[in-house]
Chain A
Amino acid sequence: MKGGGLRLYAMLYLLFLYAPILLLPVFAFNNATVIAFPLKGFTTEWFSQMVGNAALRKALTNSLVIAVSASILATCLGVFAARASTRFSFPGKGPAMGLIMLPLVLPEIIVAMSLLVVLLAVGVQLSVFTVIIGHTLICMPYAVAILSTAFSSLDKSLEEAAHDLGETKFSAFRLVILPLVMPGIISALLMCFTISLDEFIIAFFLAGNEPTLPTYIFSQLRFPKSIPVIMALGTILVLMSILLLATAEYFRRRGVARTGTQDTGGFL
């Protein structure tokens, strides 16, 4: 076999990455409170407990509200930033774009702490809203990265052609640019949604008394009897993530096919 050692290494590496995730559904359906082999039998008890859990439902609702709001906000702002950066040149463009992309490399705990200090100093009550602000901040770089690619692949004369053919600047954008970057917008929305949904540090610092899904899960790890429910929840989340990523990739590829451009590779 060609490259035997390297192939074995790659396999072990992938196993190490994904085996723990594969264990989630296994124990989610296991009829025992202890997470250990041998398995005791099949049950859907943990899933029904999960559905009946009011605190969990509250955390889920909070997380969904935050993820939907933050992804829409980050994507809308991202559209402005990406268009400005790809279409126009203006003084201070480099530094402005750098600052927008900075949260990508800034330790999240720094972002969370400084936001907390500022929000408290200004006197803003910690709530779901403050988490939305934090998540929008950290989602922006991802949205801008995806949308910049979408905008920069567009021929500048497309917009001019629409303008030349009688449309106003705004209707030219709506009729030509928006449909062409729509796959990018959908990808950005889904990307931001997944990032926000499992974000822990900012949610932990800025949520006040409001639990989100990750902070709720963390708080439940202290109680051994609720761990199987967490396993069930984890199973659902893994399925949802795969679904979201697949949808995002579907739209990206459709966008590529539609405009007949070269596929430069996505994230799947």
Chain B
Amino acid sequence: MTFSADRKPMIECRQVHKHYGDYHALRGIDLTIRAGEFFSLLGPSGCGKTTLLRTIAGFEEISSGVVLVDGKDMSNVPANVRPTNMVFQSYAIFPHLTVAQNVGFGLRRDPRSSAEKARAVEEALEMVGLKGYGKRAAHALSGGQRQRVALARALILKPKVLLLDEPLSALDRKMREQMQVELIKLQRQVGITFVLVTHDQEEALVMSDRIAVMFEGEIAQLAHPEALYARPASRRVADFIGLMNFLPVSITGESDAAVTADVPGFGRVDIPMSNVSRANPGDSGPSAGFRPEAMTLLGVNAPPAERETGGVIDEVVYYGDMTYYDVRLDGSDRPVRISMRNVFGRDIADVGTRTRVSWAPGSLVLFR
């Protein structure tokens, strides 16, 4: 899944700032998105991700800095001549036109004959799985169908970059998961650079080659999904992406390669420098974090594990395919959450029982 860094840059942002009156929406964004990449801007609402997307599209003028698309400076280039097209959050399907008229809207200034354009529209509709829908009234379509029309309408112009502003947020869960897979396939098929804005971390992890996590107009971390998940650059990113357990620790030593810390329930642990991240400014002290799947509940008769500790099960939450256990580790007063994939033949442990727990090396991240 890692993306080759040798592809040429498609979008480059250099020290991009955006002010709305007193409000500083973008605070010096530096960013390179490569050709053919599926890139996501992820963050909570108000973090500036949509503003950044709209500055790339040309709907917002930047206060200072440079935006380059395919090596060309985009200042003074209006949205209608930029090599980018956008799929809007509301889809912005023209309700007074048919599906075919919507998809062919951008071809109005195309010098091709109307028969050729009609064929292009047919092909675009087929690509998004709406073959034969051309004559329908656009306002009569379902949410998922509108989404596809919006995609076909943008892709028919063969843009260098496709910008997607929360394109799946209006769909129900099943439809959303289906469209995620379809979007990935579509992106591979057309090879166009996709830039997706989303507040849904799961969606970003599923779809992206690389993700930029944004808070308050700044990029907090830019990484591949696996790196983002396993080694969040700050406790804030860790809080935002998935679920992470945090335990307060005391640091006992430090070398060039690792930091040694006393972690309650784990004992004295060496945490490699690659897993050392920033704490939140307001944190009382350093903390260690680990994902729920980094620990495993061991059966009573399991052979001893290399790294093992024990605890008491505080709570059991059963999800069908998964079970979440809240376990109070020995030497720690706050429970941590451990997730286990349910396997046929393995019993769900009971609340209040003692359990053995093993943990994976390299799974601990230190925030200081």
Q: Which of B79-87, B207-215, B277-285 contacts A (4 or more CB under 8 A)?
A: B79-87
CA of A166 to CA of B78 in the docked complex: distance in angstroms? 10
B96 touches A155 (CB 8 A): no
- Distance (whole angstroms) from the CB of B354 to the closest CB of chain A: 57
Q: Which of B101-109, B121-129, B252-260 contacts A (4 or more CB under 8 A)?
A: B101-109
With known contacts A160-B79, A179-B96, A260-B95, A165–B88 Cβ distance under 8 A? no
With known contacts A258-B95, A260-B139, A166–B88 Cβ distance under 8 A? no
A176 touches B79 (CB 8 A): no
Q: Is A162 located at the chain interface by the 8 A CB criterion?
A: yes
- Distance (whole angstroms) from the CB of B22 to the closest CB of chain A: 15
Q: Is B89 located at the chain interface by the 8 A CB criterion?
A: yes
B95 touches A164 (CB 8 A): no
Q: Is A180 located at the chain interface by the 8 A CB criterion?
A: yes
Q: Is B140 located at the chain interface by the 8 A CB criterion?
A: yes
B108 touches A259 (CB 8 A): no
A176 touches B94 (CB 8 A): yes
With known contacts A157-B88, A164-B85, A165-B157, A259–B95 Cβ distance under 8 A? yes
A161 touches B92 (CB 8 A): yes
- Distance (whole angstroms) from the CB of A227 to the closest CB of chain B: 50
B57 touches A164 (CB 8 A): yes
CA of A259 to CA of B97 in the docked complex: distance in angstroms? 9
Q: What chain B residues lie within 8 Å of A163 (beta carbons)?
A: 59, 78-80
Q: Is A167 located at the chain interface by the 8 A CB criterion?
A: yes
A167 touches B80 (CB 8 A): yes
With known contacts A158-B92, A258-B95, A259-B96, A165–B139 Cβ distance under 8 A? no
A157 touches B139 (CB 8 A): no
Q: What chain B residues lie within 8 Å of A125 (beta carbons)?
A: none
A155 touches B80 (CB 8 A): no
CA of A172 to CA of B94 in the docked complex: distance in angstroms? 11
- Distance (whole angstroms) from the CB of B344 to the closest CB of chain A: 49
Q: What chain B residues lie within 8 Å of A168 (beta carbons)?
A: 80
With known contacts A165-B153, A165-B157, A166-B109, A160–B96 Cβ distance under 8 A? no
B90 touches A259 (CB 8 A): no
Q: What chain A residues lie within 8 Å of B84 (beta carbons)?
A: 164
Interface residues of B in 219-273 (CB under 8 A from A): none
Q: What chain A residues lie within 8 Å of B58 (beta carbons)?
A: 164
Q: What chain B residues lie within 8 Å of A158 (beta carbons)?
A: 92, 94
Q: What chain A residues lie within 8 Å of B89 (beta carbons)?
A: 157
A157 touches B95 (CB 8 A): no
Q: How large is the interface on A (under 10, 10 to 19, 20 to 34, 35 or more residues)?
A: 20 to 34
A165 touches B105 (CB 8 A): yes
User: Which one, B59, B78, B81, B92, contacts A155 given CB within 8 A?
Assistant: B92
Task: Determine the main DSSP class of A at the interface with B.
Answer: helix
A165 touches B106 (CB 8 A): yes
CA of A158 to CA of B154 in the docked complex: distance in angstroms? 13
With known contacts A157-B90, A260-B139, A260-B140, A164–B80 Cβ distance under 8 A? yes
- Distance (whole angstroms) from the CB of A186 to the closest CB of chain B: 14
Q: What chain B residues lie within 8 Å of A259 (beta carbons)?
A: 95-96, 139
With known contacts A158-B94, A164-B57, A180-B96, A258–B139 Cβ distance under 8 A? yes
**Residue of B at shortest CB range from A161?**
B92
Q: What chain B residues lie within 8 Å of A175 (beta carbons)?
A: 105, 108
The digit string for B17-37, where 1 denotes a CB below 8 A from any CB of A, is: 000000000000000000000
CA of A176 to CA of B140 in the docked complex: distance in angstroms? 18
A166 touches B90 (CB 8 A): no
With known contacts A157-B90, A259-B139, A162–B96 Cβ distance under 8 A? no
**Residue of B at shortest CB range from A155?**
B90
With known contacts A161-B86, A161-B88, A166–B106 Cβ distance under 8 A? yes
Q: What chain A residues lie within 8 Å of B105 (beta carbons)?
A: 162, 165, 175
User: Which one, A160, A172, A179, A261, contacts B88 given CB within 8 A?
Assistant: A160
**Residue of B at shortest CB range from A165?**
B106
CA of A166 to CA of B81 in the docked complex: distance in angstroms? 6
Interface centre among B81, B105, B140 (most CB of A within 10 A): B105
CA of A179 to CA of B138 in the docked complex: distance in angstroms? 15
A164 touches B86 (CB 8 A): yes
The digit string for B58-99, where 1 denotes a CB below 8 A from any CB of A, is: 110000000000000000001111001110111010111000
With known contacts A157-B88, A160-B88, A260-B140, A166–B80 Cβ distance under 8 A? yes
Interface centre among B58, B86, B157 (most CB of A within 10 A): B86
- Distance (whole angstroms) from the CB of B139 to the closest CB of chain A: 3
- Distance (whole angstroms) from the CB of A174 to the closest CB of chain B: 12
Q: What chain A residues lie within 8 Å of B95 (beta carbons)?
A: 180, 258-261
**Residue of A at shortest CB range from B153?**
A165
Q: What chain B residues lie within 8 Å of A160 (beta carbons)?
A: 59, 79, 86, 88, 92
Q: What chain A residues lie within 8 Å of B59 (beta carbons)?
A: 160, 163-164
CA of A166 to CA of B57 in the docked complex: distance in angstroms? 12
Subset of 16 A-B contacts with CB under 8 Å:
A157-B88, A157-B89, A160-B79, A160-B92, A162-B94, A162-B105, A163-B78, A165-B80, A165-B106, A166-B109, A166-B157, A168-B80, A176-B94, A179-B96, A180-B95, A261-B95
The 3 closest A-B pairs by CB, nearest first: A260-B139, A165-B106, A161-B92
Query: Which residues in A have some Cβ–Cβ distance to B below 8 Å?
Result: 155, 157-158, 160-168, 172, 175-176, 179-180, 258-261
Given A164-B84, A167-B108, A260-B140, output 15 extra A-B contacts at Cβ < 8 Å: A160-B59, A160-B92, A161-B88, A163-B80, A164-B59, A164-B79, A164-B86, A165-B80, A165-B105, A165-B157, A166-B106, A166-B108, A176-B94, A176-B96, A179-B96
